[in-house]
């Protein structure tokens, strides 16, 4: 393995070339590699928030208004929201109609199968392949279901089959070192180009090989893939890493954005926009021409996330964009549909039934937006801090998303500079600078001494500490003073025996205490190193590596998430713990290269009850998708 790529795409030196910051890999050793901006966030006693946004009904929702949660918790009027068409009715960039999700294709049949709970996992039926055109199956269903003795399970078995999958871990060698295990798993998790996909399958065909996370997640996922690509680069799988990026470029060219995953039911939303970071990762090896090569897709990615911004009035929101009363434009998570998710249909229906006083369409759109966030689900999104049915994602301006948008704007500046267009490069850099300033003004929480999320309807920060505060460290948005405060907050409130906690709240949701996730551990380690907090970064890395190695030594497996208090398998969510596991493998391979002695000396820290956790009653349901 080459240590050169241990943190490729993460260390971004702001070297000014004709006034444009240029991104390139740097050595992880030594002092911080940037001149951090001066602190511009507002003092606690002068912190200003936007006035309540102008209210209007969302015409796309059957009965719901866009709000920060249930109406009982928020009295501010909702923002005006333009009504986007449902995903199934939108033409793709290529001019081909966007595939409809199974729930639309099968209607009552889909609803009946999911609510009958024929399969333990709602995603199973969403992924099944029909034996004939869906319209014909629907006609058969309506004709047969009224007949005495009709058996729904037999009907499904007669007309649908499970997609073929390679045997799980068929070629994994027993007792292999963890590094050898990861290298073997790349081939186990690799899928060939989708050349023989059924025209009626929910799978969206990809032109190149790709890596799936593992287990139930047998398709590509957007933000997972950045951390997978880090591991592929580390293990000399550069062609496969580039194939991953080319697949995402193909999805942008076809649909105008990168969906949550390559399934028709994921097309109405995206995931945290790491495409620009992926391009930077490939450019680290291929040079600046990689920026030029993927410039058209970078532009389309940006257009998707900023759609509607140019005509949006102050105090209004539409799709992914929010314009605050002072004219500041920031982003939020969103989904174009307001119905139950195909992959979690039954769970979403039950969640709506648990809070009948809330409009179901509003709840379902927020659950879907939670899926786009990647943090599905977390107390971070809940109006009451503990109950899934109070989820309010679309009323929040998240720190992680807006930092990623800063990076996208900065990458567009770099790409246009590489192409020789100084004017556009300067314009995008100005947008990036303006967003960085807005992040520090709007999303810095002086009470938490960390970055957080802003509820733009309630006109208040949410004051919920989460590991998302590391994003401005990773991408260089934080000032040195903010970085110091964040480092202290992490050490005092998030650091655990097995890594850093996702939040300090124990809600039963998978993106909460006591779970730790590879992407957040990695972003924290590299972000802290960037600002010179090498000791804390190493502590987090060594503890996370030890958690992974200890679990692997006991089980022979690498899994999706870990309990960082006990070192055991993590819990929470609507599905069983998944093994494989794409981003866990990628991050572990990268951190082992960055800390080569860790495999020899890392030992699990003493496991004790953490003082940094807030216990809450665990709800009856805990639903999530990847």
The reply to whether omega before 495 is within 30° of 0 (cis) is no
By annotation, the residues acting in catalysis are 376, 560
* DSSP secondary structure letter of residue 291: H
Give per-residue pLDDT as tens, 310-328: 999 999 999 999 999 999 9
| pLDDT of 30 higher than 50 | no
- Mean per-residue pLDDT over the chain, rounded: 84
| Averaged pLDDT, 34-60 | 33
Cα–Cα distance between 205 and 3 in angstroms, integer? Answer: 34
Beta strand 454-455 with 460-461 is antiparallel
For residue 200, what pLDDT band results from cuts at 50, 70 and 90?
A: very high
pLDDT: which is higher, 622 or 291: 291
Looking at residue 171, its pLDDT comes to 53
CA contacts within 13 A on the Cβ side of 335: 31
210 forms beta bridges with 191
Cα–Cα distance between 339 and 603 in angstroms, integer? Answer: 47
- Find, among 222, 217, 204, 335, the residue nearest to 264 by Cα: 204
- Residue pair 498/515 in contact (Cβ under 8 Å)? The answer is no
Q: What is the CA radius of gyration of the chain?
A: 23
Residue 623, helix vs strand vs coil: coil
For residue 78, what pLDDT band results from cuts at 50, 70 and 90?
A: very low
Name the token pair of 596. Answer: 């080569």
Give per-residue pLDDT as tens, 394-448: 999 999 999 999 999 999 999 999 999 999 999 999 999 999 999 999 999 999 9
Cα–Cα distance between 96 and 557 in angstroms, integer? Answer: 42
Cα–Cα distance between 536 and 595 in angstroms, integer? Answer: 13
pTM of the shown model: 0.84
* DSSP secondary structure letter of residue 384: T
| Averaged pLDDT, 563-592 | 77
Name the token pair of 278. Answer: 């992926």
Give per-residue pLDDT as tens, 553-576: 988 899 999 999 987 666 555 445
Domain boundaries, the chain: 97-162
Give per-residue pLDDT as tens, 459-510: 999 999 999 999 999 999 999 999 999 999 999 999 999 999 999 999 999 9
Sign of CA dihedral 130, 131, 133, 134: negative
φ/ψ (deg, to 5) at 361: -60, -40
Q: Which helix (H) or strand (E) holds 583?
A: helix 582-594
What spatial distance separates the first Cα and last Cα of the chain, rounded to whole Å? 29
CA 162-165-170 angle, to 5 degrees, is 145
């Amino acid at each position: 393995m080459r240590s050169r790529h241990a943190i490729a795409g993460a260390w971004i030196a702001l070297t000014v070339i004709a006034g444009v910051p240029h991104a390139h890999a740097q050595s992880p050793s030594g002092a911080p590699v940037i001149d951090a901006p001066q602190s511009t966030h507002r003092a606690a006693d002068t912190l200003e928030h936007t006035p309540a946004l102008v209210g209007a009904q969302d015409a796309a929702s059957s009965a719901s208004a866009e709000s920060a949660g249930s109406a009982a918790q928020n009295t501010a009027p909702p923002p005006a929201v333009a009504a986007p068409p449902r995903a199934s009715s939108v033409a793709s960039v290529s001019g081909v109609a966007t595939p409809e999700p199974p729930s639309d294709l099968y209607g009552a049949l889909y609803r009946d199968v999911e609510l009958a709970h024929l399969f333990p996992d709602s995603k199973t039926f969403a992924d099944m392949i029909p034996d004939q055109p869906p319209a014909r199956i629907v006609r058969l269903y309506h004709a047969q279901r009224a007949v005495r003795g009709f058996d729904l399970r037999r009907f499904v078995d007669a007309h649908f089959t499970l997609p073929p999958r390679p045997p799980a871990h068929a070629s994994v060698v027993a007792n292999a070192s963890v590094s050898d295990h990861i290298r073997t798993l790349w081939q186990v998790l690799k899928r060939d180009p989708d050349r023989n996909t059924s025209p009626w399958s929910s799978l969206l065909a990809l032109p190149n090989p790709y890596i799936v996370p593992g287990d139930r997640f047998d398709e590509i996922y957007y933000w997972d893939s950045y951390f997978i690509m880090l591991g592929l680069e580390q293990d000399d799988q550069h062609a496969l890493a580039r194939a991953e990026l080319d697949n995402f470029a193909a999805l942008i060219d076809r649909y105008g954005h990168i969906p949550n995953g390559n399934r028709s039911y994921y097309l109405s939303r995206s995931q945290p926009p790491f495409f620009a970071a992926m391009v930077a990762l490939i450019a680290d090896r291929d040079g600046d021409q990689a920026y030029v090569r993927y410039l058209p897709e970078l532009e389309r990615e940006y257009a998707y996330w900023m759609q509607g911004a140019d005509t949006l009035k102050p105090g209004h929101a539409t799709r992914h964009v929010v314009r605050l009363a002072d004219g500041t434009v920031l982003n939020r998570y969103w989904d174009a549909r307001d119905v139950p998710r195909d992959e979690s249909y039954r769970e979403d229906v039950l969640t709506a039934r648990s809070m009948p006083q809330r409009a179901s369409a509003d709840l379902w759109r927020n659950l879907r937006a939670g899926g786009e966030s990647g943090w599905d689900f977390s107390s971070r999104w809940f109006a009451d801090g503990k109950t899934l049915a109070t989820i309010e994602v679309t009323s929040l301006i998240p720190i992680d998303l807006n930092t990623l948008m800063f990076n996208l704007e900065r990458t567009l500046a770099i790409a246009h500079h590489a192409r020789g267009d100084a004017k556009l490069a300067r314009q995008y850099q100005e947008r990036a600078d303006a967003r960085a300033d807005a992040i520090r003004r709007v999303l810095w929480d002086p009470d938490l001494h960390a970055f957080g999320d802003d509820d733009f309807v309630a006109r208040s920060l949410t004051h919920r500490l989460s590991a998302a505060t590391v994003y401005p460290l990773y991408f260089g948005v934080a000032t040195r003073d903010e970085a110091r405060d964040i480092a202290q907050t992490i050490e005092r409130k998030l650091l655990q025996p097995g890594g850093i906690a996702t939040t300090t709240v124990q809600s039963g949701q998978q993106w909460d205490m006591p779970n730790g996730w590879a992407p957040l551990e990695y972003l924290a380690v590299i972000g802290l190193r960037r600002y010179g907090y090498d000791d804390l970064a190493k502590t987090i890395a060594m503890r996370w590596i030890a958690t992974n190695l200890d679990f692997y030594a006991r089980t022979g497996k690498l899994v999706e998430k870990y309990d960082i208090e006990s070192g055991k398998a993590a819990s929470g969510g609507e599905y069983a713990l998944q093994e494989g596991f794409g981003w866990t493998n990628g991050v572990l391979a990268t951190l082992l290269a960055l800390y080569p002695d860790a495999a020899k000396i890392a030992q699990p820290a003493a496991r004790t009850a953490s003082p940094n956790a807030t216990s809450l009653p665990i709800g009856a349901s805990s639903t999530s998708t990847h």
